[in-house]
């Protein structure tokens, strides 16, 4: 049975994380798909042109869909299930076109405890997809797990850069 103090600690960590995302992302805490506590979306559109706007060289769209999960104890199977759910929901929002560059899906998990072997399981979770042989962009999956008690991280290859963001925010 978890104490309200442990639950509040996870929610405090989530609030710290969301504050770092709020500047560039649209954050949603209501009507997010289960089992997630919050969701954030980032959309960027860039145009390149020569001398005048009518001489357009390229349109570039970049997106990121971030899912946040809070749990008391995180085991490998729970992580795999949450990663699959986040990946599927994120991909359902992708609209590939010739102006689409990338749409990444990110899962951030905050847990009180990791079950042994979770770090190894996190490294093995890899999803990626290219659209029309990358002519219409690609999607990668980033994963970061944070254990509140020991303040340690577990991530996959694409999630390594998220650790810096967490540490900059005092976690």
List the domain boundaries for the chain: 4-168
pLDDT for the residue 29: 93
H/E stretch holding 136 reads: none
Give the residue ranges of the chain where pLDDT is below 50: none
Structure confidence by residue, pLDDT tens digits, 64-101: 999 999 999 999 999 999 999 999 999 999 988 887 78
Q: Which residue is associated with the tokens 């145009």?
A: 47
Cite the beta strand spans of 75-116 per DSSP E.
Answer: 100-114
Say which DSSP state 115 is in.
Answer: P
φ/ψ of 56, rounded to 5, equals -80, 130
* Cα 103 to Cα 73: distance, rounded to the nearest angstrom: 30
Is 154 in contact with 115 (CB distance < 8 Å)?
A: no
* Cα 106 to Cα 166: distance, rounded to the nearest angstrom: 14
Q: How many CA atoms within 13 Å lie on the side-chain side of 141? A: 24
* Cα 70 to Cα 58: distance, rounded to the nearest angstrom: 40
Cite the beta strand spans of the chain per DSSP E.
Answer: 26-28, 38-49, 56-74, 100-114, 128-130, 138-147, 152-155
The encoded tokens of residue 111 equal: 């847990």
pLDDT for the residue 45: 78
pLDDT for the residue 121: 95
Answer positive or negative: Cα dihedral of 90, 20, 100, 122: negative
* Cα 111 to Cα 33: distance, rounded to the nearest angstrom: 19
């Amino acid at each position: 049975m978890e104490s309200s103090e442990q639950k509040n600690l996870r929610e405090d960590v989530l609030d710290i994380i969301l504050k770092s995302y709020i500047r560039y992302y649209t954050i949603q805490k209501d009507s997010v798909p289960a089992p997630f506590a919050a969701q954030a979306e980032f959309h960027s559109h860039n145009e390149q042109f020569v001398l005048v706007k009518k001489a357009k060289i390229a349109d570039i769209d970049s997106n990121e869909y971030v899912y946040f999960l809070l749990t008391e104890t995180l085991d490998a199977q729970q992580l795999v299930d949450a990663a699959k759910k986040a990946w599927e929901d994120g991909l359902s929002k992708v609209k590939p076109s010739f102006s689409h560059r990338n749409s990444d899906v990110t899962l951030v998990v905050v847990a009180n405890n990791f079950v042994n072997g979770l770090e190894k399981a996190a490294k093995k979770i890899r999803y990626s997809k290219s659209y029309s042989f990358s002519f219409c962009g690609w999607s990668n999956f980033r994963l970061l797990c944070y254990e509140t008690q020991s303040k340690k991280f577990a991530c996959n290859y694409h999630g390594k850069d998220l650790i810096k963001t967490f540490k900059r925010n005092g976690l």
